[in-house]
Amino acid sequence: MSPPSWKLGWSCLVSRRTSFMFRSTGPEGWRVRQRHFEAITSLVRSCRRFFPAGSASEIWSEFSSLMENPWHNSSFEGSGFVRLFLPTNLENQDFYTNDWVRKTMELWESIPNCQFWNSQWSAVIARVIKNYDFVDWECFLPVLFTRYLNMFEVPVANGSGSYPFPVDVPRNTRFLFSNRTMTPTKAIAKSVVYLLKPGSSTGKHLEKLVDLLEQYYHPSNGGRWTYSLERFLLYLVITFQKRLQHEQLNKDNDKHAHLFLGRPERTAFVKILLKLIDRGQYSKNERMSETVAAATSILSYVEPSLVLPFLTSRFHLALETMTATHQLKTAVMSVAFAGRSLFLTSLSTSAKELHPAGDSNTFMDLLMISLSNALLGMDANDPPKTLATMQLIGSIFSNISTLDDSMDDSSFMPMIQMSEWLDEFLCRLFSLLQHLEPSSVVSEGSHSAATSGTFLVEDGPYYYCMLEILLGRLSKSLYDQALKKIAKFVRTNILPGAIAEVGLLCCACVHSNPEEAVSALVEPMLSAVISSLKGTPATGFGGRGVLETSVLSKAKPTLSPALETSIDCQLKILSVAINYGGPVLLRYKD
């Protein structure tokens, strides 16, 4: 679909934004004003691509005068207006010459130690780098990467890493031009990725930057810079993925195809990022470890020959490590994120290329080992490892259409007997649910909600997703085997501390096969509840018996605490289990 041919003038948007800035807020208050201001800012950003030819020159002439004196507050306003309004569309490409880039870099360097100033110019430079590949950036690379390193504010020697004499920006200016007081990692990552070209020295400069930053990804070197470094890794991978996707879609009809990344450039980039991934894999920061796992997953599709052997070695190392058991959780999560890539690579005809020794089953062996060891990771005393284990099980089985013991040697899992594995899995699961039970006696009314609040429910969706995927992939015989054991467990165990968890287990069974699950789970619970309530005396409140004043005055609870707890648990489990019952439940309406 071709872009629209209509154009928009930029001056009316400037007037609109300026008039809004200086108007009286009246009774609307600052919060509403801020929302209006954000809406106008978003509108300007969306309209930039439709500015006509010559707009870039006009906008630069209009606001560059504000930046003639870098030590005056007007320079900050000028940089904010330039960042917001300067277009980088095809119609204005003639404006962006090497001379303009040189002047802009000099202007950027005129104010040191100011994150606001850095944020404005790094965003402008990133857009120019992405949209105009004819600009020669080679002579500017040393200055750019030095600037980027300085913006991360990591400590050197005994220093704190913060700017020693930061330049303050007026509060109103910070409000008018949205700026977070942190490193503009997204703009830096975009610049780095789109500077990569065949024959360019960008890769060498990036390698030097990573060599200096990688030590701060280590778990022992965490600090206020950890968030910026984590975002930098994430944006590098995401932007790299977007660029490769664009080049893949346009490789046959793009006149700039000679600038597209080839295998050497991709390989070199992935090797550099693996340094950061290696350091940050076992970070104490949960966000960092999750980002590393996600980055590993994305890059495993780009260069599986580099990433998957790295992933395999780290997983085996975590299994062998006895003094740092927390590494196993991160290693399991990384395998879960890369599960589909491991399957695809194992089935690929070029899998042997990844292993010169000819062992093309290494990655499938990794999946089998991780699946076998996964059951040991289900521990009520170790919630992070338990959730990672459930994530792994869900990831592996989501790539398989049907699980059955009749799978032959050419199947996904020739080494595992599913019926035996399923029995062991259910035993581990039942033990986990039983250990979630509180040790003290449950007092009356202490669990009024249908959620027990354990980590299986509150800390993520992995528990139910795993059950839904696993039970949904089982063959008829294996499903019947699992349903029989689950029904016996639900019938013989009352767990007030795991009501939601047991309810979700029943819900997953009903979701996979409503006909059989309702008969095996819902019907026995309904019968048990009705049978328990039949022997209770009537007071008239429920429509049974005679409503008399003498009876009401003497009415007291007649259920024993144990029976009341049992009925309460069963009703709450039923309330969760019947969500996917559908028309099958109509037979029990009476």
- The DSSP code sequence of 87-126 is --SGGGGGG--HHHHHHHHHHHHTS-S-HHHHHHHHHHHH
Is 524 part of any domain?
Answer: yes
Q: At what angle do helices 286-302 and 226-249 cross, to 10 degrees?
A: 20
Residues of the chain with confidence (pLDDT) below 50: 1-2, 356-359, 409-410, 438-449, 451
- Say which residue the tokens 């990725």 belong to: 193
Q: Which tokens go with 253?
A: 């009809």
The pLDDT of residue 113 is: 82
- How many Å apart are CA 301 and CA 311, to the nearest integer? 13
Is 221 part of any domain?
Answer: no
Q: Which tokens go with 342?
A: 């491991």
Eight-state DSSP code of residue 522: I
- How many Å apart are CA 285 and CA 187, to the nearest integer? 23
The pLDDT of residue 15 is: 65
Is 435 part of any domain?
Answer: yes
Nearest to 130 by CA among 34, 240, 21: 240
Is 507 part of any domain?
Answer: yes
HEC states along 346-407?
HHCCCHHHHCCCCCCCHHHHHHHHHHHHHHHHCCCCCHHHHHHHHHHHHHHHCCCCCECCCC
- How many Å apart are CA 256 and CA 556, to the nearest integer? 84
The total of structural domains in the chain comes to: 2
Is 206 part of any domain?
Answer: no
Is 252 part of any domain?
Answer: no
481: containing domain = 418-535+556-588
Phi and psi angles of residue 309, each rounded to the nearest 5 degrees, phi first? -60, -35
**Boundary-marking domain end, from 167, 185, 203:** 185
Is 460 part of any domain?
Answer: yes
DSSP 3-state assignment of 62? helix
Q: Which tokens go with 131?
A: 């949209």
Is 256 part of any domain?
Answer: no
**Boundary-marking domain end, from 155, 185, 215:** 185
Beta pairing partners, 403: 474
The pLDDT of residue 409 is: 46
The pLDDT of residue 179 is: 61
Q: Which tokens go with 444?
A: 């009356």
Amino acid type, 174: R
Q: Which tokens go with 84?
A: 């917001």
Count Cα neighbours of 94 within 13 Å in the Cβ-side half-sphere: 7
**Boundary-marking domain end, from 158, 185, 212:** 185
Nearest to 87 by CA among 124, 42, 61: 124
- Say which residue the tokens 């004043």 belong to: 549
